[in-house]
Structure 1
Amino acid sequence: MRELPNPLSLFTESLTKNKPMKKTMSERIAPLQKILQEKMGRLQINERAKAKPIEAPAVQTTKASPISVTWARHQDEVKEAQRLRYKVFAEEMGARLKPSAEGLDVDIFDNFCEHLLVRDNETLKVIGTYRALPPHQAKQMGCLYSDSEFDLTRLRHLRHKMVEVGRSCVHRDYRSGGVIMALWSGLGQYMKKNNYEVMLGCASVQMGDGGHYAASLAKILSTEQHLTDIEYRVFPRLALPVEELNSSLEVEPPALIKGYLRLGAKICGNPAWDPDFNTADFLTMLRLDDIHPRYAKHFLAD
């Protein structure tokens, strides 16, 4: 794809010459961020402790298993997840995160989330993580992370039974099917234990090629087979400019999205463009009732 110019720069230049520039992601979500910061300032330190406790079961593993899956029990374990996130997102993928002396990826949602950890049983290092924002904590927070990227109006009636998952990553030396399946099994047990019905989250696609791969993937995923029903569609606040990109490439979905689709997840509409992470984000929804029978036994195992 070297012969193709970076269409995002052409898109920006054309807007500059012909009409006012579209607001950046930061400008678009600034009002929301201001509200969240004010809300955080009013919260008491002990409010999180008052929240209804969540029973987050550990994934059952044998003594011989090379990995184990647990939920973070204290702040030191949360920091282990944040350190892995920083290593993957900032150091490996080049995301523009807030500078951190400790090398941590931290945002205002972390204190409201449960953090799922996969450890190497030999080194005891955290090698994979997800975070989960349950309904009562999302209500306490005032919004979901996805609200900053999408208009979720059509999903409003699902919020009381919906868990938002995100910040998923696996250490580069451990990117095997076993680690991601262990994470999914942990999430599935968590959903089942707490009687939640819907899992929502952004599946991110890197845009190192200028966005052509993401645009071609968006075209593939825009079929009835992969999309949610119309009543569950969302709308990106800063849409990936697919029309300015080459969307005719023959591409395969990345492993994470392919895995979601196999489980029975659906794509909620067109992707958003996240300039900070340089990704195209596809909002993905999985209803537990729609999990493919082939995977339900493992995903929802007790």
Structure 2
Amino acid sequence: MNDLPNPTMPFSPVSLPRGSLHRPGAADGAAVDAGARAGVAVAWARHLDEIREAQRLRFAVFAGEMGARLSTPVPGHDVDLFDDYCEHLLVRDQASGEVVGTYRVLTPAQARRVGSTYSDTEFDLTRLRTLRPRMVELGRSCVHADHRHGGVILALWGALADFMVRNQLDTMIGCASIPMLHNGVVSGDAAASIWQQLRQTHMAPIDYHVLPRLALPVDQLDGSLAIEPPALIKGYLRLGARVLGAPAWDPDFNTADLPMLMRIADLPARYRKHFLGH
């Protein structure tokens, strides 16, 4: 996930006119239920101070835990060009009020305004052009180390599914990262092994395949290791996500990034019922 320069335009805390986006201040339905059971509350950021909380969490996880090199204009915060154009989903610990999980969502209208998605900087997405009118990009996902359990993830996904349905959007894309050290294995070999597994079982149709701009040299790495994908990638796959192509190498974040796509129509029945109520 390459960091990009900060825009010169002033920050706009509301990225779309209120009448064009169904985004309640607090998530409802399944997301609220899942959050309550996990002791967390889910809501969309309403102003810059709340977005700054998400950016501080991102900095702590990406720079503090993963060792990412972040060129940020705000010390202690992960800030890039796309933040000004995204909606930011927050999960708070109900006891402390601290933001413990976040996603950012780039809508089709805002992607047109900024000129691309973040994934466009890592991959040639030409084959996805017919999907773009109803396609959102998910990015900068992270959860505080003390809260990496199913309840937080379910709360996030319940809110995202509700957002998609309310706004008549049907496709999600994003870059799923494999960190430098994954289960004790340097990520080059780990990513090559995970790629070799998933290309056999979870590839998208060839019509949607994409190409990395800075490819990880998977053919020169040991792809024969029995490596489990990271928990977040396994979660995406359970929700019906598909891999779009070979991983890109992100030197700033020190990760191998897999391009992934998920469509609301592909949600398994048990998750459709949980997230969408039908």
TM-score (norm 2): 0.89
C-alpha deviation, 1:211, in angstroms: 1.2
Aligned to 1:275: 251
Pairing 1:100-249 to 2, within 5 Å after superposition: 102-208=75-181, 209-223=186-200, 225-249=201-225
Specify whether residues 176 and 68 from structure 1 end up closer, same or farther in structure 2 by C-alpha distance, changes over 3 A only: same
Aligned to 1:74: 47
C-alpha deviation, 1:43, in angstroms: 8.6
Q: Distance in 2 between matches of 1:292 and 1:99?
A: 39
Specify whether residues 116 and 47 from structure 1 end up closer, same or farther in structure 2 by C-alpha distance, changes over 3 A only: closer
Q: What RMSD in Å do the two structures reach over aligned CA positions?
A: 2.5
Q: Distance in 2 between matches of 1:106 and 1:124?
A: 22
Runs of 4 or more off by more than 6 Å in structure 1?
42-47
- 1:54 matched to 2:21? The reply is yes
Specify whether residues 158 and 247 from structure 1 end up closer, same or farther in structure 2 by C-alpha distance, changes over 3 A only: same
Q: Distance in 2 between matches of 1:114 and 1:219?
A: 34
Q: Distance in 2 between matches of 1:289 and 1:121?
A: 32
Q: Which entry has the higher C-alpha Rg, 1 or 2?
A: 1
C-alpha deviation, 1:294, in angstroms: 1.6
Specify whether residues 106 and 279 from structure 1 end up closer, same or farther in structure 2 by C-alpha distance, changes over 3 A only: same
Is the Cα contact below 8 Å between 1:151 and 1:234 reproduced in 2?
yes
Q: Distance in 1 between matches of 2:108 and 2:51?
A: 20
Q: Distance in 2 between matches of 1:108 and 1:99?
A: 10
Structure 1: which 5+ residue stretches go unaligned?
1-24
Aligned letter for 2:97? L
Aligned to 1:13: none
Q: Distance in 1 between matches of 2:150 and 2:36?
A: 18
Aligned letter for 2:173? L
Aligned to 2:230: 254
Q: Distance in 2 between matches of 1:164 and 1:99?
A: 21
C-alpha deviation, 1:50, in angstroms: 5.2
Structure 2: which 5+ residue stretches go unaligned?
none
User: Which of 85, 93, 104 is residue 66 of structure 2 equivalent to?
Assistant: 93
Aligned letter for 2:66? M
